[in-house]
Structure 1
Amino acid sequence: MGSSTLHIDLGALAQNWRVLDAKSAANVETAAVVKADGYGTGAGKAARALARAGAKTFFVAAAEEGIDVRNAVGPSPRVCVFSGHMAGDTDMIADMQLIPMLNSLDQITRHFELLPKHPFGVQLDTGMNRLGLEANEWDAVRDLVMAANPVLIMSHLACADEPDHPMNAQQLAEFHKMTDGLDVPRALSATGGILLGPDYHFDLTRPGIGLYGGLPFEDAAPVVRVECPVIQIRDVPAGETVGYGNTWTAEVPSRVATVSAGYADGITRQISNKSVLFDGDTPCPLIGRVSMDLITVDVTHLDQTPRSLDLLCAHQTVDDLAEIGGTIGYEILTSLGRRYNRRYRT
């Protein structure tokens, strides 16, 4: 069975970074988030393309992810770790010159004891209640931490993709309260925060999903295309069914293409009988259930027999597919599996 192909446009990725960099306020550094294997695009290749575009700071979720990024971009760029300094990560942080964003009193103690001269940042909780020091904890250790010269203090917005949500202003005010007057670079905004405007930009922004073509960055250029090869075409008489569970019945004599892709490739079963694939500009309904390795598509209306059909493309973005499947573009991108042939275009 031929695998589907994930086409990745590194030029579009770099262009999205440039546009978001231009939207960041003057004298603000624009970093790049390349966690989750570069949102499914390949962290090493994504990081190299972004470094060529001008990114000098990268963020990953865990120290293990930092290895590929460090190997890809070389020794100069900063590679920061959102999860901080976890137990067992000390050698990796030191050897790969990673910068942990310390999230707790335990992490601060661990880092100061084991890597006392190694660069670090601090993450504060401004209301999301996920990662970071709460206000009372920060008050207790702020002077000690500041004496060790952190390279960055950051927090994370919970509702930045909803510009009018009151949580945005609430977190902004809390971040000011916790950090104003400190002589250290500050960062609050990912993609959504950049689009909220310069009040949220501080000294560094860190776009993620917008780099890869996802909302809330509506002007993003598409970065990924999923091309699914057609394995077989069959004629299905009226009244017969297709796929597991008999969920689709041919109302008229139909031509059905079976393509190589399925939920083992990160394509959710929730789009069964709802989505379309594309032959060029022509939509072709997905019929029946998405199975582990296969999808069936109605191509009765096509004049020719397609060799492949596109699931993700300019006509159907990751967010379009996510809406159909009741999820978000992040999940669509980061679920794309290892079976894809990945082809890169610069």
Structure 2
Amino acid sequence: MTAYDRAPAFLTIDVGAVVANWRLIRDRVGPGCEAAAVVKADCYGLGAERIVPGLAAAGCRTFFVATIDEGIAIRKVLPREVTVAILGGPLPGAAADLAEHALTPVLNSLDQIGLWAGYAAATGSRLKAALHLDTGMSRLGLDAPAVAMLAADPALLNGIDPILVMSHMACADETGHPKNRQQLTAFQTLSGQLGLPARRSLGASSTIFLGPDYHFDLVRPGAVLYGLNPTPDQANPMAAVVALHARILQVRDVDSPMTVGYGATHSVRGKGRVAVAALGYADGVFRSLGNSGFGVIEGERVPVVGRISMDLTTFDVSALAPEQARPGALIEIIGPHQAADDLAAQGGTIGYEVLTALGRRYLRTYQGEVV
């Protein structure tokens, strides 16, 4: 028996589509702006070791991850001259690891600046870094008083070579939100106060689509690379990357007053058939999709009935012919008829969570890889 024969569910990841999406962003911002790639969380759950080489081969020269361990992992498949930036910055005691693996920390606070400057002084080095300004997220980043302190005392950056000044937007997926312009103005003001000869970056995925004013010198596409829609109020301009299908394990006849699943949350009304598919919340199919989501068989929607179980999801296939819904047949969960964003909307979440939650039990198949 092959891996395909024994696999209950299948996840297909199109690396070529990821690269095409990166090229779309690169071409959109033009030659005066660099297109980086955000590959944190294992490329949003899709496999950094398989995707990052394709992006590098296409010309990407700057990658962003969240943690040092993520940076060390992708450094194994990237040459040292390619920039790998760590969004979380340096933790106490981790500066040597950053330097050893040629990782560039994003410095989010005066404390982190002190850690990195201290390591530079102790080693007699001049170390690259990015500076993150908080322009309205109230999350990571240097706030206005901290920026004023840096501007007043440039010695705080002794030993540090700031190669990038960046910020992050809170509401960029809402094109008309007033906070977008407020953050743009704040970024221009705060970065101007620093007066550093570093490049500037404000645009992540949705921000890129707000227009050239938000592009500056480097953009940081993340979710868009993996096919998620950066403009929810418009058609998705990105190529689809992910397809998810599950096998039917069993089809059974049902009739009232039978119920389906835990908690008896679905009551059968009249004669029908239900198909039990081999995936559940352990595989990233959210429990909130119970009695609200749907799958697709041969282009026809089949609604989820009952609660999502750990390993199983039950669909109403009463409207289909028996030969369409049979043991071994495949149900599309993500694909041409239902994007990850659509599945997220049914489950009351966002496409980011759908992708990063995709489980490890799927038989993963990669297409369009660089060989």
> Which of residues 309, 313, 316 is equivalent to 2:338?
316
CA distance in 1: counterparts of 2:80 and 2:219, whole angstroms:
21
CA deviation digits over 1:159-213, x for unaligned, max 9?
1111111111111111111113431101011011110011011100000111111
CA distance in 1: counterparts of 2:161 and 2:95, whole angstroms:
19
Counterpart position of 1:69: 74
Counterpart position of 1:173: 185
Residues 46-61 of structure 1: matches in 2 within 5 Å? 46-61=51-66
User: Is the Cα–Cα contact under 8 Å of residues 25 and 198 in structure 1 kept in the other structure?
Assistant: no
Question: Could you say what secondary structure the match of 1:72 adopts?
Answer: coil
Matched, 1:249 2:267: yes
State the AA in 2 paired with 1:45.
R
> Which of residues 167, 174, 179 is equivalent to 1:162?
174
State the AA in 2 paired with 1:245.
G
Question: Could you say what secondary structure the match of 1:114 adopts?
Answer: helix
Question: Could you say what secondary structure the match of 2:250 adopts?
Answer: strand
State the AA in 2 paired with 1:177.
T
CA distance in 1: counterparts of 2:133 and 2:226, whole angstroms:
26
State the AA in 1 paired with 2:64.
F
- The CA deviation at 1:215 is 2.0
CA distance in 2: counterparts of 1:263 and 1:2, whole angstroms:
17
Counterpart position of 1:196: 210
CA deviation digits over 1:61-93, x for unaligned, max 9?
111111221112232311101101112322321
State the AA in 1 paired with 2:66.
A
CA distance in 2: counterparts of 1:48 and 1:145, whole angstroms:
37
- The CA deviation at 1:239 is 2.6
CA distance in 1: counterparts of 2:18 and 2:48, whole angstroms:
12
User: Is the Cα–Cα contact under 8 Å of residues 201 and 219 in structure 2 kept in the other structure?
Assistant: yes
CA RMSD, 1 decimal: 1.6
User: Is the Cα–Cα contact under 8 Å of residues 8 and 41 in structure 1 kept in the other structure?
Assistant: yes
Counterpart position of 1:279: 297
CA distance in 2: counterparts of 1:190 and 1:285, whole angstroms:
35
Matched, 1:144 2:155: yes
State the AA in 2 paired with 1:223.
V
Runs of 4+ with deviation above 6 angstroms: none
> Which of residues 125, 133, 137 is equivalent to 1:124?
133
Matched, 1:79 2:97: no
CA deviation digits over 1:305-344, x for unaligned, max 9?
3422111112111111111111111111111122222110
Matched, 1:105 2:105: no
> Which of residues 266, 269, 291 is equivalent to 2:309?
291
Matched, 1:45 2:50: yes
Percent identity among equivalent residues? Answer: 44
Q: Tell me the number of residue pairs that the alignment of Structure 1 and Structure 2 aligns.
A: 346
CA distance in 2: counterparts of 1:117 and 1:28, whole angstroms:
26
- The CA deviation at 1:146 is 5.8
- The CA deviation at 1:302 is 2.3
Structure 1: which 5+ residue stretches go unaligned? none
Question: Could you say what secondary structure the match of 1:73 adopts?
Answer: coil
Measured at CA, do residues 88 and 230 of structure 1 come closer, stay the same or move farther in structure 2, by a change above 3 Å?
farther
CA deviation digits over 1:110-165, x for unaligned, max 9?
11112442221111111111011111111212423566321111110111111111
Matched, 1:206 2:220: yes
